[in-house]
Structure 1
Amino acid sequence: MSASRFPVSHDLSSLGWDDSHAAALPDGLIPARVARVDRGAAEVLCAAGHFQAHYGATVRRAAAADPVALPCVGDWAGLRKLAEGRFELEALLPRRTAFVRGGVARLSRGGLSGDSKGQVLAANVDVVFVAEPALHATDTADLGRIERLLALAWESGAQPVVLVTKSDLAGESLPFLMGEVAAAAPGVDVHAISSLTGEGVDVVHGHLAGTRTAVVLGASGAGKSTLVNALAGTEVMETQQVRAADGRGRHTTVHRELIPLGGGGLIIDTPGIRRIGLYDMGEGVDLVFSDIEELAERCRFADCGHDSEPGCAVIAAVEDGTLPERRLESWNKLQREALWMASRTDARLRKELQNRWKIIHKEVRKSGRNRP
C-alpha cells in the first residue's frame, strides 16, 4: 500500500464508522478498517493513520476453523497496541454484508464435484459494481458471467449494479448490447460508461453518496482499475492495455484494496475473476432469474423442473421466443450448483443427489446397450 494514497489520519465516520459498529467493538480495542490483506497481516486505516497489523491468536484460530472468518478488505476490526509499538488485529466486528465466492462445481460421472471452500472477496459493501466490457462492435457480453456475479451480489446483501465499460468502443452496437445485458439483469440498474471519455462516471459516483462502499468485480481487462482512477480523480491504481492478440486483459490489480474517494464514498478494486463459484446460495439465483420465477408460477405442476413436464410455462416461453433458451440453460446450471453447495452440509440431500446420479448413469448405460 502506497503511503501517498492516504492521509496521515482518518475521520472514522468518512470510512463508514457509526454507532452500531462502536457498540460491537470490544472494550479496550482501537477501531480500524481493513484496506488490504497479506499473509497473516492486514493494512488498516484508522484515526491514527494507516499501518500493518498482524493477526492475533483469536483471529488465527477462527480462520483455521473456517476460511470465511479470515479478515478481508472492507472488514471493521479491533486492534490492540502492543508494548513494542506495533499493532495486532485482535477481533473482527460482525459483517453487515459479505461477498463470498465458493469453489467451482464441476459436472462429472459422479455428479457435481469441486472445491466447496468459501472465500470472502469483500465485506461491509453497499454496492457491487459488475463490470462487463464492450470491447468492439462484434463482441457480445458474457451474460453467464454477469448472471453468476449478480447471484453472488444479491446473496451478499449488497445492491448490484451492472456497468457496461468501455462503451466508447461499442459504436452502433451499444443499444443492442445494453438490451442484452438488461434482459440478463432484471431489477438491476445497468449503465454504459467510458472512463476514457467520462461518460457515465458521474452516474457511478452517484451510487457512492455519503460514506457508501462499493466493490468492482469483473474479468481482467474490464476496465476496473481505470474506473477507480476516474472516480478518484487521480491515478491510484496501475492500469494496462488489453492484449491486441486475443482481446484479453492482463492482471494489473493483484490485491483487493479499499480506496477512499475524495468526493465521498469508498471503492474496492479487485483482480480479474476467472473462477466464480456459488457459495451457500439462498435467494440469489431466484432474484437473478426473476423472469423465470414469474413464468414458473403459471406452470401446471408446482414442482415443475422446466424440462419436459406437460403444461410448463417456462418451456412454452422458450418455444415462442419470449424467453431465450440460453437463459434457461444458465438457470439450470446455477440451480445445479446451488443444490450441490447446499448438499455439502445436508447429508440427506447429498444422499438423494448421489442416488439420482446413479439412476441417470444406469439409464445411460442401458440406452447404450439397447442401441442397434
Structure 2
Amino acid sequence: MADPTESPLTRIGWHGALPPSSDDDADDSRIARVIAQHRAGYELHDGVSAFNAQPAPRFLKPSLDPAERPAVGDFVRVNRSKPPSIEQILPRRSVLARAAAGERHQRQLIATNIDTVMVISGLDGDFNPARIERYLMLIEGSGARAVVVLTKADTAGDADAAMAELRGRVPVQTAIHAVNAKSADSVSVLLPLLGPGTSTVLVGSSGVGKSTLTNTLLGESRQATHAVRETDSRGRHTTTYRALIQLPSGGCLIDTPGMREIKLTGEESLDGSQFGDIEELAEDCRFGDCSHLSEPGCAVRTALEDGRLDNDRWHNYLKLRDELAAAADSLETQLRRKSEARVMTKALGRRLDEKYGRH
C-alpha cells in the first residue's frame, strides 16, 4: 500500500524533501519532471498525470548555453497559467552529457537526475569494448553509476568469452549482465536496479536492443523496434527522441536514440576508476616525462610485456587521452572567449555611460 504522506513526485524519481514553497497553497507554481522534449515544447509529469508545457522566454535566447535549458529528467517549477510555462530548473543531482557534433564545443545533455546508466551493447557485430570504455568515461563524472548490459545473449556464439574480455577492461565495480532482451526472465536480473524512486537511462548504438529491452521491462510493446542489418549489426533509429517512462517495477526509464558519435566533453578524467590503474603505472616510470615507447624503467611497457596491461586497452587509452586533451583545449578556448566578450561588453557599457550618461 502506498504511503499516504508520500509525494506523488517520488513516483517519478524525486529524491529527498520537497522545496518549502512546493506545497504552499499561496504559491502559483508546481513541480513536475520533464519526460520528453519535442519541437513544439515539453511533456511533463507531476506524479499524477502528464501534460504539455512551454519554456519561459529566457530559455529560448540563442546565446543561452544549451545545457542551461530544460532537459529530459529535469525537475522544473511550472506556473499554473494556461498553457503552463517552465519557469525554473531545480538543482540537478546528476548530469549525463556528451559533446555535441561539430567543431564548436557545446555540451549536449543526454539525461539528468539519474541513478543508473545502462550501457547497452549487442553480443553480435555491435560488440566493441573500446566504445564501451568511452561510454564509461562519460558516465564516470556524471554522478550516476554505470552498468553494462550485453543483449542478444540468446543468439551469441560465445557470450562467456565476450563477458570475460570485457571484464578485463572495465572497473571491477562495474556490473556486467548478458541478457536476452526479449525474455522477461532473462532481464529480471536488472529489476533490483529499477525499483521505486529510481531513474535509469539506456545508452548505446542503434539496433542494440534498447527499445526491445524497454518493452520487455514494461510488459508491453510500446517502443517501436526494427531488425538490424546483417552486414554490420546496425539498426535504424527506432527511438527518435529521449523519453522517460514509468515502469511496473516502480522505477523510471529513459530510452534514448542510438548514438553514432560519443564525443568527450573535455571535462572527463583519466585518473578515475576506468583508467586509474594506467595512470598509476605511469607514475612508477623512471622518468617523469616518459613517453612509454623505449625509455628504460618504463612501468607501462613492463606491464604490457608481462600481460598485466591489455594492449588493446592501452591503445584505446592513448586515443582517449589525446581526444580528451583536444576537447579540454577547445573548452578552455571557448570559456576564455566568453570571458573576454563579457569584459568587452562591460567596458563598452562604461564608455557609453561616460559619454551619454546613465539612463
1:181 is the counterpart of 2:176: no
1:119 is the counterpart of 2:108: yes
Q: Which residue of 2 aligns with 1:134?
A: 123
Q: Which residue of 2 aligns with 1:251?
A: 237
SS at match of 2:197: coil
Q: Which residue of 1 aligns with 2:52?
A: 52
Structure 2 CA distance for partners of 1:244 and 1:281, relative to 1, 3 Å: same
Q: Which residue of 2 aligns with 1:35?
A: 35
Gaps of 5+ in 1: 1-9, 106-113, 351-372
1:22 is the counterpart of 2:8: no
Q: Which residue of 2 aligns with 1:326?
A: 312
Q: Distance in 2 between matches of 1:142 and 1:346?
A: 31
Q: CA RMSD in A?
A: 2.5
Q: Which whole-Å deviations, capped at 9, do the CAs of 1:207-266 have from their partners, x for residues lacking one?
A: 122211000000011100111111111122111111234422111000110001112111
SS at match of 2:168: helix
Gaps of 5+ in 2: 1-6, 337-359
Structure 2 CA distance for partners of 1:317 and 1:80, relative to 1, 3 Å: same
Q: Which whole-Å deviations, capped at 9, do the CAs of 1:54-76 have from their partners, x for residues lacking one?
A: 11023224x73211112111110
Structure 2 CA distance for partners of 1:131 and 1:284, relative to 1, 3 Å: farther
- Displacement, 1:91? 1.0
SS at match of 1:146: helix
- Displacement, 1:45? 0.4
- After TM superposition, list the pairs within 5 Å mapping 1:1-372 onto structure 2: 11-23=8-20, 28-39=28-39, 41-47=41-47, 49-61=49-61, 64-82=63-81, 85-103=82-100, 114-135=103-124, 139=125, 141-171=127-157, 173-187=158-172, 188-198=174-184, 200-283=186-269, 286-346=272-332
Q: Is the 8 A contact 1:140 1:177 kept in 2?
A: no
Structure 2 CA distance for partners of 1:157 and 1:284, relative to 1, 3 Å: farther
- Displacement, 1:35? 0.5
Structure 2 CA distance for partners of 1:304 and 1:199, relative to 1, 3 Å: farther
Structure 2 CA distance for partners of 1:125 and 1:253, relative to 1, 3 Å: same
Q: Which whole-Å deviations, capped at 9, do the CAs of 1:175-205 have from their partners, x for residues lacking one?
A: 1100111122113111111122345411111
Structure 2 CA distance for partners of 1:91 and 1:308, relative to 1, 3 Å: farther
Q: Is the 8 A contact 1:186 1:290 kept in 2?
A: no
SS at match of 2:262: coil
TM-score, with length taken from structure 1: 0.81
Moved over 6 A (4+): none
- The worse-fitting range, judged by mean Cα deviation, of 192-201 and 327-336 is 192-201
TM-score, with length taken from structure 2: 0.83
Percent identity of equivalent pairs: 37
Matched letter for residue 162 of structure 2:
L
SS at match of 1:175: helix
Q: Distance in 2 between matches of 1:24 and 1:148?
A: 41
Q: Which residue of 2 aligns with 1:370?
A: none
Q: Which whole-Å deviations, capped at 9, do the CAs of 1:35-90 have from their partners, x for residues lacking one?
A: 001236210001451111011023224x73211112111110111122xx311111
- Displacement, 1:321? 2.9
Q: Is the 8 A contact 2:97 2:107 kept in 1?
A: yes
